Amino acid sequence: MTTTVQCPTCGAPVEWKTENTYRPFCSERCKLIDLGAWAAEEHAIPGNDLEDEMFSGDLPTRPH
């Protein structure tokens, strides 16, 4: 039985197996792109307004 997932970066089907070092990504390239995207989106995360609203009173500045 083989589970197939979608590569989070490019959406390509990826077989979820132990031999696939980069799962859930289809390749090392997509894995690195996703890691880079996380860093790039750190300052502009869509749909994060609720969290900002909840903590705005307690945390005027967000430590990094």
Site of interaction with Zn ion (CB under 5 A): 7, 9-10, 12, 26, 30
Q: How far is the CB of 11 from Zn ion (least distance, A)?
A: 7
Q: How far is the CB of 30 from Zn ion (least distance, A)?
A: 3
Dist. CA 4–CA 56, nearest whole Å: 40
Q: How far is the CB of 42 from Zn ion (least distance, A)?
A: 22
> Which is closer to Zn ion, CB of 12 or CB of 37?
12
Distances (CA, A) of 41 to 20, 36, 51: 27, 9, 16
Cα distance from N-terminal residue to C-terminal residue, the chain: 43
